Structure 1
């Protein structure tokens, strides 16, 4: 085994458990000497850098960083103590929490989170950077923290379960519950957390009200009724359709920028439920220490469906900077249902999922801006009218791209004009116009055998991490060496059940971070750039990509 392979192998076995433990109960803000401004930001705890706070509707909520990490207000994430600013303000170390007594997070066995077994002896080399800066965390028996419970170890490298895209078919049964109640995502007991309340609070109760729930806001962007919008005849005209609110479909770079002056945007998104089975994957890929060239953490997006989701796991991901989007409440089968669903059925599914994320997971209503339909089976005007009327900012469901590799990728565009069929290849496509509603196209990937697929996890299965890595590189180069349209790495987390897929993407993220003109951003950050195209020389100061840009401002 090569040194690089050996390092990668050991890094996959010694990674950081970055689980944000959410305390459900609120406490009085003046107990911590903190003023509640309800501006959406997270702040240092007044005495313990391992805790941080957020004001929601004039109540103060407490959160806890993973063991060994401190909160960093600049990046709005938990970070290494040497990078974090919360530990530099005279605060006490973990275990001394000032005027506020905070209970420990308890596992099923009743032990405190800090009650850890000795780490197994490490064998073989590990990278210098990891050895010097990482608090290593292993679960009992030497199993990596991010490997989910309840998964047969013999199936990890079994590719027989992988099928062609749309790949969603194995996620839930046709009779799966669509009630939106909390589900216990995985079967492993170590994931079934009991969260003790902070000093004044009681325990969480019920499933219809979350400790971080927000009132549904009416501050979403204003749009005219479709009956009152101007109809555009003929094809989209770039001379009339201009940013910030209009963009024609095409391969040309916005504002006439050259490729080398254009930041290469990369989106990492994950479809379906957020459950304990997949939670560790997200934590590994977006662990502390991974930064874009502007010094802010890399970001991803979760397109969440209601069936199978453990809502207690959604808010911690949002708190770490992940974008949260709607992927429908039920994720119904068969896929043809979505092609013929009525306008009201789309309202129930799309807006219904958004409201569940607000009431069950505590995500701010106005932070949920995006949508992707199950199976990429668009539903024509019924679907897009539902998105438009409910003021979603973007959809990312339209499938496009050449069957054979060679053509330049498509940039995101708006639906101010009727979309030509080459940009919407999976009918029924909308025939009406939806001014200001953005579309981030789902573009074909090309497998190691040259055959195209809709998403990376639908291409021909690869044999090992090296082959996977080359697959990711070759598809990235098609964007990076041409018009630098945003690259979407849109996958389902169950793809990582074959461990070499996870290893390859993990290593690929490291490669991307070595490039000064590549930014791993969320879909909504891509849209913000499309509204105000900014050259790579100036993008380090582009506010929507700043560390504060990940926090929903109220």
Structure 2
């Protein structure tokens, strides 16, 4: 029953997304913190390093500020509790939720991943520049943008990156169901990705903007991961993404266990968490909570709004503590900038950020920071972490579980194998 509900939710998300535009450190610092927390000064990249790219929509400005260097766990260390807050179709509209959650993140020592929809940097009058696979030119199930919306979104993207957040992609037209992304070939996915990059790299030309500052990053290098619309089309997308040098995918559904590589990419799927008041678990995403509370009606019974938000908050917190006190698997959460059911899910997410992100050993990070950390670890350490089941704390504690294997017993001492001549 739970699986059926999840699949239904994924299929229906396109209809809801169409109603809305938008749809930390862990390096060693010598402080004695075995998880390696490191504070980084918030300063922009030096202007002398700037090199404009193409029409000046983007620029190389040096290494990303506030992106700490990951540290390999030492034998016996307790792993950090990572939490990733990610946003599908990130854009700034009249709700100003992008700017709001940037401030929420800064107040709580967090960074996040913003999956930008490329068509949010394409003006309505230039819609025919988008040629979606298996659809007519200029078609998009989430619309396009206007000059003010593009300017506001670019500003938020610029500030978010300078603060250490990640800019991923949610692609473009958000097509689900028949003819949608689930039916696209590998080559069609590559074309969609190329268009998403192009809209970011040419937003000035397309919006006829000359005097605005560029986005301070090279999107060809910045873009390393994505989440597909409605969590569809993952198989062919990951094949295309691996060919293009992506490092992770967050388009699947998984339990709260440590990530592993699939098709060359880190699989950092959305996860199932407890659903208060129900006998099945729920995908850790605002839409999926909503569809199991008010159906596809985005503004259901007002008398239940607080209850529904509390259910999402408490479900995410239950998942958090299950990992925090158990296997320490990263908690992966997905959201949209939306006002469904009176904005109750936005309240829930903010309350979760405020409760968990400043706790001891907790790192609220972007996917980029998470996969940087995973890449820095010993394969044997990751294998041990992946052996732990949902909520399973290691028997004997972390110090013994992640200790190095004992050296072989010297020959000639009690218990040693007989000497061979």
Band of TM-score, shorter chain: 0.5 to 0.7
Residue 306 in structure 1 maps to residue 112 in structure 2: no
Q: How far apart are the structure 1 equivalents of 2:104 and 2:318?
A: 27
Residue 283 in structure 1 maps to residue 99 in structure 2: yes
C-alpha distance after superposition, 1:99-125 (max 9, x if no partner): xxxxxxxxxxxxxxxxxxxxxxxxxxx
Distance 1:495 1:525, change over 3 A: farther
Q: How far apart are the structure 2 equivalents of 1:289 and 1:492?
A: 15
> 1:399 matched to which residue of 2?
253
Q: 1:520 aligns with which of 364, 389, 410?
A: 364
> 1:170 matched to which residue of 2?
16
Q: How far apart are the structure 1 equivalents of 2:197 and 2:79?
A: 33
Q: 2:281 aligns with which of 452, 456, 460?
A: 452
Whether the aligned pair in 2 keeps the contact of 1:290 and 1:513 (CA below 8 Å) is no
> 1:213 matched to which residue of 2?
58
Higher RCO, 1 vs 2 (CA within 8 Å, ≥6 residues apart): 2
The alignment partner of 2:119 has SS state of: coil
Unpaired runs of 5+ in structure 1?
1-162, 174-183, 187-207, 216-243, 245-253, 402-408, 416-433, 538-554
Distance 1:450 1:493, change over 3 A: farther
Q: 1:324 aligns with which of 155, 160, 167?
A: 167
| TM-score w.r.t. length of structure 1 | 0.44
Q: How far apart are the structure 2 equivalents of 1:257 and 1:350?
A: 41
Q: How far apart are the structure 1 equivalents of 2:174 and 2:21?
A: 16
Deviation at 1:526, TM superposition (A): 0.4
Q: How far apart are the structure 1 equivalents of 2:105 and 2:84?
A: 18
> 1:387 matched to which residue of 2?
241
Q: How far apart are the structure 1 equivalents of 2:17 and 2:310?
A: 27
Whether the aligned pair in 1 keeps the contact of 2:88 and 2:115 (CA below 8 Å) is yes
Q: How far apart are the structure 1 equivalents of 2:222 and 2:345?
A: 30
> 2:130 matched to which residue of 1?
none
| TM-score w.r.t. length of structure 2 | 0.57
Whether the aligned pair in 2 keeps the contact of 1:165 and 1:455 (CA below 8 Å) is no
Distance 1:277 1:344, change over 3 A: farther
Distance 1:257 1:266, change over 3 A: farther
Deviation at 1:335, TM superposition (A): 5.9
Q: How far apart are the structure 1 equivalents of 2:310 and 2:229?
A: 30
Whether the aligned pair in 2 keeps the contact of 1:265 and 1:520 (CA below 8 Å) is yes
> 2:78 matched to which residue of 1?
261
> 1:359 matched to which residue of 2?
202
Q: How does 1:359-438 map to 2 (within 5 A)?
A: 359-360=202-203, 362=215, 363-365=217-219, 366-380=221-235, 382-401=236-255, 409-415=256-262, 434-435=263-264, 437-438=265-266
Q: How far apart are the structure 1 equivalents of 2:342 and 2:239?
A: 39
Q: How far apart are the structure 1 equivalents of 2:344 and 2:231?
A: 26
Q: How far apart are the structure 1 equivalents of 2:282 and 2:14?
A: 14
The alignment partner of 1:302 has SS state of: strand
Distance 1:389 1:263, change over 3 A: same
Deviation at 1:268, TM superposition (A): 0.5
Deviation at 1:370, TM superposition (A): 0.8
Paired positions, count: 275
The alignment partner of 2:99 has SS state of: helix
Which structure shows the higher helix fraction? 2
Whether the aligned pair in 1 keeps the contact of 2:251 and 2:270 (CA below 8 Å) is yes
Unpaired runs of 5+ in structure 2?
1-7, 23-52, 61-69, 122-148, 204-213, 294-303, 382-397, 400-421
Whether the aligned pair in 1 keeps the contact of 2:275 and 2:311 (CA below 8 Å) is no
Whether the aligned pair in 2 keeps the contact of 1:378 and 1:398 (CA below 8 Å) is no
Q: How far apart are the structure 2 equivalents of 1:289 and 1:455?
A: 19
Q: How far apart are the structure 2 equivalents of 1:400 and 1:255?
A: 25
Q: How far apart are the structure 2 equivalents of 1:319 and 1:473?
A: 29
Distance 1:301 1:210, change over 3 A: farther
Deviation at 1:168, TM superposition (A): 3.3
Q: How far apart are the structure 2 equivalents of 1:171 and 1:493?
A: 10
The alignment partner of 2:317 has SS state of: helix
Q: How does 1:18-57 map to 2 (within 5 A)?
A: none
